[in-house]
A and B are shown apart, each in its own frame.
Chain A
């Protein structure tokens, strides 16, 4: 079953002579539980695509359907709700809220949604992420790898329809990179979490189910790896 349907997605920045077409008529679908890697050189439109799927930005034209529902039919307010319930975003630079501790950062989307935090999920997540004993640390008291694990915890906490990761290992050393990728893969394999990861690291891309290559805002190739 396709959880994500992207049709004729186009995003143009600027107008007139300075207009840049970051995404040009991109269409593809992602099945539930699929692990998709998106690769491409810088400026190829990877991040733009991810932000559109995550409801952080609006397209110039085209649609994104998550669970059959058109994401951009929603108002800004509904988009905010969409972001906290349906997607989990992981960034290269973590983007944790500096004034909240580890647990509070992880539970942020759930709490903002006014729902109860699932205790078992939280404890097991802290265990899996290796953050036990660091529950009450602020982001600036953590290493880069630890911060990224908190960001992953935040993305997964709500069991979103899709987790979107933008170069999640781009800022980490190889050991931490490996750990982060294994965490993401575990969530995909064991929890059936749909996962879209932007990377320029071919080794990482090859561990995905499917690799989509973007070039100048268009899909250059869409290869099923396994």
Chain B
């Protein structure tokens, strides 16, 4: 076959054609395969570097793929969660006229996806007696009914437009005359009589206790503003100021078929079927339309469509719109998005730096070979192709490997952290991996583009290498412009030498001798190559510092999850009307509680705290007025219960002996202070200023006050006056100004004549309570100073009476015995603590379960964080290794020449150390600069959600990055030098570095 082909060629044209392009020669197939083979061989010749490059490409691709896949998966999970709990509707509006729906269809046109309607049949007033427990009104809504959707949405019915209410018992109504009542009405009896609304009789009356099968009679009317009857209120809404009910129809009987959970959206409403006839006197029914759209790019466009349909007020399903990217979220969501963006940019930069660095070196290493190939007749195009072939081969191996790594890694990470996501998303659904082809394509595309971009410049360079130049020059050394200028200034031969002719000119030679001089010169001459190393190092340092930063920021965000050390908690509230624990010795009372708790087999240990409030005063120097100001501005509570003059009201926690000792121990207090009989206190110096949008903490105390004074409350105060902070933050006897409705000081604190009942030395100002306290920061006062004292000392002091009057509850903390079931033990504990004298209601908390959830969340954060850190670390190491090791190996022959000219090992080592140090210093400086920029970007992102964040450089991480850089640098240089030394000096002198 081949022979016939050859003969054919002879017949068609001369056998020996003059080929101006090698690839179009006699047998292009063969020439091409020669170059591919050549590429494969050069890759095989330097196995370590090839492996590092492939790993680098794989890691970069993997990290990109993992980030993209994770983001898509998370977003899908968030959307699924939002859809499952709230439906797929994007906007909803109330209408009184069915024509509005037609107008909506016209205005949205093709964009309308699915539409559901819910009718509001009106509200019935409850009798004043029934209203006390069950609210003023019972609204009646129809179940939502989906209208025929567009063809596009047919079959897409995984989620409802707006979900039906959740059935607590029974079922949802299916035909007219059936009703599902809100669950709080189960077991209640609705009586007749006057309602809370003036002139309106009760319109909701039951035939006895409400159970499944009961009958309820409802007379429905319309709720509206008393002054403006056109201003209607939603029937399930809570009572509005000045509202009234009119248009009340005849009572109608309904059969109770079920009880449903109430939600924020529908309020206190019962549900009937969609086709239930109107029941108001006028027969008017208001409807609410919920719809989803496709093709709109922002919530604003949906709003515009609604406006053009003549709708003047509507609400958005904001949560879903944010996840769908149609609406800007709250600050915290913004923060997350910005952090993700910063990380994505960091990864991109790292990936580009790694791939291009590794590749540039791989090519420049073979400049001479390209010259040789060129001299043998390789065309520029062939040389370019050789380089691109190398890129392709590395990519073909590295990119799929990276995709597998990235997707596999993300799958493993999500599997390991499933519990955490469940806890965070507060749904039973977990995050399932969504591998969208577009993400994979993006990861492949980005990696490939980077690879090609990295290959392009060296390929161009390789193709322009002059054959003669390349073969002749022992290495591709071109003096930098700066060096050429220096040389140009030198006139005589002796200008190269210092005045005493013993060393070369220049500072480096004076300070470090010949090795330092040679190192400096190498760095100056090969500035371009050095830049590759410096950039690689800088990027690595920045990556490492960034990883540390992200870790810090995430921990500052998860640090708010704090459940204390106890496993179970039961709060016992004071029974009496004035909410104080009036009698008994606090210590004896605590012993009773501990005794009861410890009798339960599942409890291994128990402790008791009592908490309440007490008025206090401390030296003004001990108060940080700035922190109080921040608290007032940022926190949702208004003023802190402490003013700049030092007056305030503390949340006081009294501890039993063992708990006090443990706390004192952990805070490192003196033996005297550890004794629970010694009067002293620990002041918690932290106040949370988080609000619905931002997180933050301030320290209200300076620590300058050595004692605090406990004060007895003033003897007499008017009924409209109370002790607390005024709106301007001043503490005193305050009252509400009738005109301005502001809280103002009636009598300043220092004029109240409050007597000091105890001087309590402050044993410590603690910024946190650590693991020694059974209680968590949740159990403490949010807007008042928290003061912790030993109960025994307080009981024995003159403050006993005052303190005891302020105590409002006790808390029993229990530790589970090994193997005990948390839920069962909590039930037993609740039973054991019921019916104790002076205590009324109980509240129980399963802290183990909370801690489990919080641990799962933390694990989730950590898994993703450390994956990021580990991969960035690997990328950094690969990067530095590639540039440094390759750079040194390239100079094998130069090193041999120096040695044959008489340079000894120590001098040689010094030269390398100076060179590497120079690169390290520049890389570190550049890296810290880059990290500062990234830090600033992260800081900006985080500031949106943490109000008291201070911009700080994480010097610890910088030091760590420095250590890693030095270690990697040393390892790379060590590897390279071993390789250069492994080569016999004789061989090295002859080597062409090919």
A binds B: yes
Most buried by B among A89, A101, A118, A137: A101
Which residues of chain B have C-beta atoms less than 8 A from A97's C-beta?
518, 894, 897-898, 901
Question: Is A51 in the interface zone, CB < 8 Å from B?
Answer: yes
Check A57/B900 contact, CB under 8 A, given A119-B494, A138-B477: no
Q: Residues 955-994 of chain B: 1 if any A CB is under 8 Å from the residue's CB, otherwise 0?
A: 0000000000000000000000000000011100110000
When the two chains form the complex, which single residue of A76, A123, A154 contacts B901, counting CB atoms closer than 8 Å? A154
23 pairs from A and B in contact (CB 8 Å cutoff): A47-B986, A56-B986, A76-B904, A77-B906, A83-B899, A83-B900, A83-B902, A95-B989, A96-B474, A97-B897, A97-B898, A98-B475, A99-B518, A104-B496, A108-B898, A109-B902, A111-B504, A111-B514, A116-B500, A117-B494, A117-B501, A117-B502, A118-B501
Check A140/B522 contact, CB under 8 A, given A57-B985, A104-B496: no
Check A114/B502 contact, CB under 8 A, given A57-B984, A138-B525: yes
The reply to whether B900 and A54 form a contact with Cβ atoms under 8 Å apart is yes
Q: Residues 135-151 of chain A: 1 if any B CB is under 8 Å from the residue's CB, otherwise 0?
A: 11111100010000000
Question: Is B63 in the interface zone, CB < 8 Å from A?
Answer: no
| Surface stretch bound by A, among B401-409, B485-493, B554-562 | B485-493
Residue of A with least CB distance to B514:
A112
Which residues of chain A have C-beta atoms less than 8 A from B495's C-beta?
135-136
Instruction: Tell me the chain A residues, 110-138 only, with Cβ under 8 Å from chain B.
Output: 111-119, 122-123, 126, 135-138
Question: Is A72 in the interface zone, CB < 8 Å from B?
Answer: no
The reply to whether B985 and A98 form a contact with Cβ atoms under 8 Å apart is no
Residue of B with least CB distance to A92:
B990
Which residues of chain A have C-beta atoms less than 8 A from B518's C-beta?
97, 99-100
Question: Is B301 in the interface zone, CB < 8 Å from A?
Answer: no
The reply to whether A80 and B474 form a contact with Cβ atoms under 8 Å apart is no
In the assembled complex, the CB of B360 is this many whole angstroms from the nearest CB of chain A, namely 19
Bound-state Cα–Cα, A93 to B488, Å: 27
Residue of A with least CB distance to B893:
A95
Question: Is B761 in the interface zone, CB < 8 Å from A?
Answer: no
Which residues of chain A have C-beta atoms less than 8 A from B488's C-beta?
136
Residue of B with least CB distance to A141:
B479
Bound-state Cα–Cα, A56 to B475, Å: 22
The reply to whether B525 and A80 form a contact with Cβ atoms under 8 Å apart is no
Question: Is A85 in the interface zone, CB < 8 Å from B?
Answer: yes
Check A80/B905 contact, CB under 8 A, given A95-B474, A97-B894, A116-B500: yes
The reply to whether A116 and B487 form a contact with Cβ atoms under 8 Å apart is no
Instruction: Tell me the chain A residues, 50-87 only, with Cβ under 8 Å from chain B.
Output: 51, 54, 56-57, 76-77, 80-85
The reply to whether B493 and A103 form a contact with Cβ atoms under 8 Å apart is yes
Which residues of chain A have C-beta atoms less than 8 A from B984's C-beta?
57
Which residues of chain B have C-beta atoms less than 8 A from A100's C-beta?
518, 521
The reply to whether A83 and B477 form a contact with Cβ atoms under 8 Å apart is no
In the assembled complex, the CB of A173 is this many whole angstroms from the nearest CB of chain B, namely 13
Which residues of chain A have C-beta atoms less than 8 A from B475's C-beta?
98
Which residues of chain B have C-beta atoms less than 8 A from A126's C-beta?
493
Which residues of chain A have C-beta atoms less than 8 A from B496's C-beta?
101, 103-104, 107, 135-136
Residue of A with least CB distance to B899:
A80
Sample of 17 more A-B contacts, CB < 8 Å, known A93-B990, A94-B474, A116-B501: A51-B985, A76-B905, A80-B899, A84-B901, A95-B900, A96-B474, A97-B901, A101-B487, A107-B504, A111-B502, A111-B503, A112-B514, A112-B907, A126-B493, A135-B490, A138-B477, A139-B473
Question: Is B497 in the interface zone, CB < 8 Å from A?
Answer: yes
Bound-state Cα–Cα, A111 to B478, Å: 24
Bound-state Cα–Cα, A104 to B985, Å: 22
Bound-state Cα–Cα, A115 to B900, Å: 18
Question: Is B472 in the interface zone, CB < 8 Å from A?
Answer: yes
Residue of A with least CB distance to B896:
A95
Residue of B with least CB distance to A155:
B901
Which residues of chain A have C-beta atoms less than 8 A from B513's C-beta?
114
7 pairs of A and B residues whose beta carbons are closest in the complex: A84-B902, A80-B904, A98-B477, A95-B897, A136-B487, A83-B902, A116-B501
Bound-state Cα–Cα, A107 to B509, Å: 14
